[in-house]
Amino acid sequence: ETGVTQSPTHLIKTRGQQVTLRCSSQSGHNTVSWYQQALGQGPQFIFQYYREEENGRGNFPPRFSGLQFPNYSSELNVNALELDDSALYLCASSLRSGGAGETQYFGPGTRLLVL
């Protein structure tokens, strides 16, 4: 069973640029969620995709967008980067089975630094 992988591991961008982060879900999972984790904080929910459709969004502006592909891998795109976007970006996959309580399996994260 392959775990959740993310690429790249680290990234440095300048303010105003755009970035794309990638995530491969754990085998058999149909749901992917993205989180932003600033230093010393818990992960903050950005959005979730289920079967290629956005299925919930946190308090993030539209310049944060995403995609989920037929193989359930996913991308997070951030436009017009700001200094405050510097954080660890986490992808988590899960299997939606209809009942409450989906365990989320996290990838190692992408560390983004915006200068």
Partner 1 sequence: SQKIEQNSEALNIQEGKTATLTCNYTNYSPAYLQWYRQDPGRGPVFLLLIRENEKEKRKERLKVTFDTTLKQSLFHITASQPADSATYLCAPGGQAGTALIFGKGTTLSVSS
Q: In the bound complex, what is the minimum distance in angstroms from residue 16's beta carbon to partner 1?
A: 27
Nearer to partner 1, 16 or 61 (CB): 61
Nearer to partner 1, 54 or 82 (CB): 54
Task: Give which of 58, 63, 61, 59 is closest to 80, Cα–Cα.
Answer: 63
CB 4 within 8 A of CB 106: yes
- Give the phi and the psi of residue 60 in degrees, each rounded to 5: -125, 145
Specify the length of the chain in residues: 115
Q: In the bound complex, what is the minimum distance in angstroms from residue 43's beta carbon to partner 1?
A: 5
Nearer to partner 1, 70 or 99 (CB): 99
Chain residues in the site for partner 1 (CB under 8 A): 4, 31, 33, 35, 40-45, 48, 50, 55-56, 58, 88, 90, 92, 96-109, 111
- Give the phi and the psi of residue 84 in degrees, each rounded to 5: -70, -10
